[in-house]
Amino acid sequence: MLKTDASGLVAETQRLDGSDTGPVVLEPFVRGDRVPMHIQIHENLVLQLTSGKFGSGAELPPEAALCEHYGVSRGTIRQALAELARDGLIERHPGRGSFLRRPKFEGSVVGSYSQFRVEGPPLDPGAHVLDCVTRKADPVLAKALGLGHDRSVVMLRRLRFAGGVPVTLQTSALPAALFPGLAKHNLTERHLVDILRDEYGVTLVRAEEFIEPAICTAFDARQLGIKTGAPVFQIERRTFLPDGRIGEFRRAVMRGDVYRYRLDLR
Amino acid sequence: MLKTDASGLVAETQRLDGSDTGPVVLEPFVRGDRVPMHIQIHENLVLQLTSGKFGSGAELPPEAALCEHYGVSRGTIRQALAELARDGLIERHPGRGSFLRRPKFEGSVVGSYSQFRVEGPPLDPGAHVLDCVTRKADPVLAKALGLGHDRSVVMLRRLRFAGGVPVTLQTSALPAALFPGLAKHNLTERHLVDILRDEYGVTLVRAEEFIEPAICTAFDARQLGIKTGAPVFQIERRTFLPDGRIGEFRRAVMRGDVYRYRLDLR
DNA sequence: GAGTGGTCTAGACCACGTT
DNA sequence: ACGTGGTCTAGACCACTCA
């Protein structure tokens, strides 16, 4: 599809992605009351931009034009546009303009513009401690924890429940040097993160988590009350101290029949 | 831990979460050059707030004090604070103040303050079409697609590759009434989303995805070149039209040995 | 009533990309 | 040279919370 103007002399701009698109032309706007203007404008733009009337890549009016259209100052317009950009609905380029974004549903990599959450029953407070011992880490675990000479680790296995039903089994490894006597504390009722902060003065600031599908082992199945071989999530988590060292390395098995991950893409 | 002041008369404020904390007191700041101030301030605050020197729930200085501390106007401070709030590092409450947020790693529900992505090799362009037929949807599928009287659906099975290796098998169902003659188009080389847009004038604006662990069936295993019973991700996706109708219902099986999901929590 | 964050304005200067 | 979005200022008024 290549459009030309009436005279047939000027070909419409051909976009990089092969689709040609006109500019975004907005409907008249009536301002409501009580609701902040930047929110009204954001909602109004979301409605119009997702109406399907404009092709992806279509150029939005410049900020100055939007100020006039909506009858507000530049700061207010920018607040609404920043929200749109954060949602991934538009892209903004200094010196060029703002453009409607093409949804990238087909791509392999889902960017950070998606919403994410776990769906399932909330965890009960507390945990059932299966065991908690201090031992020498094997080389693989020592490397995962970033340990040097002292390879002593506290190994902690906890079973957690939701509505009285066991749903996840967490196996944690913590550097014993950082948390001497950890096993003596009340790991059943207190959150691990609270004990580390209140008893050892350690604040955990960041964590990374890797999620994979797995087959439930016989031991895990017995603990979780499901069948051996049932599909489960295997979740590996590293939690970091402010200085970058690893405070906890955890591998958890979570029931796949109770929890699922949900993404919202735009 | 309950602290009292020297006189013993005034108990320090007891926070809801049971931990008591002093206010955030900031180190002197030297402004750099070239980098926008709101970014410098944001980075400076992240460093200080995650240093572990302050308890969770600690109150930040009010905006006016921060303006003076950093030597900038209120708008600039608010830009930095908005970023912190978006990251989930602080909570802001009108009339009360801004507070350092406790990391909620132990909780079951991971909020939207987390980063998320899929890790693995990028998908090759194009797809291998296993089959594409139009038939009547069974009641379950008809309900999932939100179909009324006309239960005709286009069923499309595609195999996608990464580096020449089959990695995901996608089974799609689309309302035949919306996309007549869909099977005649080149589904091997063109993205489905492009065909729907260019040939049918339909823009897909939103999608929701549910991710579960699963066991690979014999058929899927043969297609993907893995063993029957291997752990895989099962991904259910609904893609929506601007008016809220479902444009595509898809169930995909993705190799668990090639891809994993990654979360970054703060 | 004093202090907090939320909203909004009307200006200004800049780096950047296009013409 | 011009128009774009990015940054920043100095004011203003508001709703809300807490003493």
Q: What is the pLDDT of residue B93?
A: 94
User: Nearest chain A Cα to B162, which residue?
Assistant: A108
CATH number of A128-255: 3.40.1410.10
Lowest average pLDDT, out of A73-87, B126-140, B192-206, B243-257, goes to B192-206
Q: Is B48 exposed, middle or buried (0-12, 13-18, 19+ CB in 10 A)?
A: middle
Write the CATH number of the domain with boundaries B10-100.
1.10.10.10
Contacts 24+ apart (CB under 8 A), A221-230: A223/A130, A223/A159, A223/A166, A223/A169, A224/A159, A224/A166, A224/A167, A224/A168, A224/A169, A224/A253, A224/A255, A225/A165, A225/A166, A226/A255, A226/A257, A229/B215, A229/B229, A230/A255, A230/A256, A230/A257
C-beta atoms of B213 and A205 within 8 A: no
Which residues of chain B lie closer than 8 angstroms to A203, CB-CB? Answer: 50, 52, 56
Is pLDDT at B233 greater than 70 in this prediction? yes
**How far apart (Å, rounded) are the C-alpha atoms in residues B25 and B59?**
9
- B119 in contact with chain A, both atoms CB, cutoff 8 A: yes
Rounded to whole angstroms, the maximal C-alpha distance in chain B is: 85
DSSP B217: -
| Tens of pLDDT, residues A203-232 | 887 889 999 999 999 999 999 999 999 999
- How long is the CA B244 to C1' D13 vector, in angstroms? 40
| Domain-wise residue ranges, chain A | 10-100, 128-255
Whether any strand C atom is under 7 angstroms from the Cβ of A73: the reply reads yes
Residue to test with chain A: of B209, B232, B243, most A Cβ within 10 A: B209
Instruction: Kindly state the greatest CA–CA separation across chain A.
Output: 85
pLDDT band at residue A9 using 50, 70 and 90 as cut-offs: very low
For B60-81, give one letter per residue: b (16+ CB within 10 A) or e. bbebeebbebbebeeebbbbbb
User: Which of A108, A243, A264 would you mutate first to test chain B, the one with the most B CBs within 10 A?
Assistant: A108
Instruction: Give the 3-state secondary structure of A22-53.
Output: CCCCCCCCCCCCCCCHHHHHHHHHHHHHCCCC
Mean pLDDT of B97-119: 69
The model's pTM is: 0.79
* Residue closest to D2 C1′ by Cα: A95
* pLDDT tens column, A30-61: 988 889 999 999 999 999 988 878 887 899 99
| A201: confidence class by pLDDT, cuts 50, 70, 90 | confident
User: How many angstroms separate the CA of residue B204 from the nearest CA in chain A?
Assistant: 8
pLDDT digits (tens, 9 = 90+) for B11-31: 333 333 334 468 999 999 998
Residue B234's pLDDT band (cuts 50, 70, 90): very high
DSSP notation for B86-127: HHTSEEEETTTEEEEPPP-TTSS---TTSEEEEESPPPPSS-
Compute the 3-state secondary structure of chain B and give helix, strand, coil in percent, each to the nearest 5.
25, 30, 45
Task: Give the closest-approach CA distance of B260 to chain A in angstroms.
Answer: 5
Q: What is the pLDDT of residue A88?
A: 82
Q: Do B193 and A103 touch (CB under 8 A)?
A: yes
Q: Check CB contact of B30 with chain A, cutoff 8 Å.
A: no
pLDDT at B109 over 70: no
Those of residues 74-103 in A touching chain B at CB distance below 8 A are 75, 86, 103
Strand C nucleotides where any atom sits below 7 Å of a protein CB: 3-12, 15-18
Q: pLDDT tens-digit profile of A153-195?
A: 999 999 999 999 999 999 999 999 999 999 999 999 888 888 8
